[in-house]
Amino acid sequence: MHNKGMPSRNIVKRYDVNSYYHLYTRGVNKQPIFISDADYAVFTSLFKRYLSPETVRSTQRIAYKNYSDRCKLIAYALMPNHIHMFVYQSEQSAIPELMRSILTSYSMYFNKTHHRTGPLFQSRYLASPVNDDAYFTHITRYIHMNPRNWRDSDHTSLPYFIGRKRASWIHPEEALDTSPESYLEFLNSYEERRAELDDIKWELANAQIDSD
């Protein structure tokens, strides 16, 4: 078992170019960040807004920022009070800028819709570099199995990995080197060994980057 008091060898001070990261953020004080199905739909629409190859425009015909040439979203899971994302970036500042755009846009929507004020997310999100083969192999499984009802969850990227959905803003092919059927078997085979995912949880808890 890892000693959680020990500093992680994976703590880094800045993002690297051409690198993969496991991103995690949660609601301030662990409060819910998704209350209704509409909330989940809005957050997912922000992936399309900022990561589609095609430019997306506001109702005023103003083009939103586009990060598709600098970032690739590979996998995600939206949980009631936290979010997991697996992202590749080709430029050093791409992930911080993408996260700022997504989290700010969603916070504005959520506060207006649910009649609240103040920060929605905790001030710092965690970012763990995925530069180990074993970590890379298991990270999407960890993300997709985050919901207890992971097979039936509508709020993860699993449908894109097993061929039920397709979209230009998500890139499962970056991590998927097998058939959709084999990938689903890969997840099923781990159902009885969820405890082993604690290693990845520990890595995430101890490997973080300032998001400021």
Domain count, the chain: 1
Residue 13 is assigned to a structural domain of this protein: no
Residue 187 is assigned to a structural domain of this protein: yes
Q: Helices (H) and strands (E) in the chain — how many of each?
A: 6, 4
Task: State the average pLDDT for the chain.
Answer: 87
pLDDT of residue 113: 98
Do residues 46 and 148 lie in contact, with contact meaning Cβ atoms separated by under 8 Å? Answer: no
Residue 25 is assigned to a structural domain of this protein: yes
Higher pLDDT, 27 or 192: 27
CB atoms within 10 A of CB 193: 8
Residue 81 is assigned to a structural domain of this protein: yes
pLDDT of residue 193: 67
Residue with tokens 């993969």: 20
Q: For position 148, which CATH number holds?
A: 3.30.70.1290
Separation in Å, CA 54 to CA 65, 66, 108, 158: 11, 9, 24, 23
Residue 211 is assigned to a structural domain of this protein: no
How far is it, in rounded angstroms, from Cα 24 to Cα 127?
6
Q: What is the pLDDT of residues 68-107, one digit of tens each?
A: 999 999 999 999 999 999 999 999 899 999 999 999 999 9
Confidence of residue 1 (pLDDT cuts 50, 70, 90): very low
Residue 179 is assigned to a structural domain of this protein: yes
Whole-model pTM: value is: 0.85
Its domain, for residue 104, covers 19-206
Residue 14 is assigned to a structural domain of this protein: no
Residue 8 is assigned to a structural domain of this protein: no
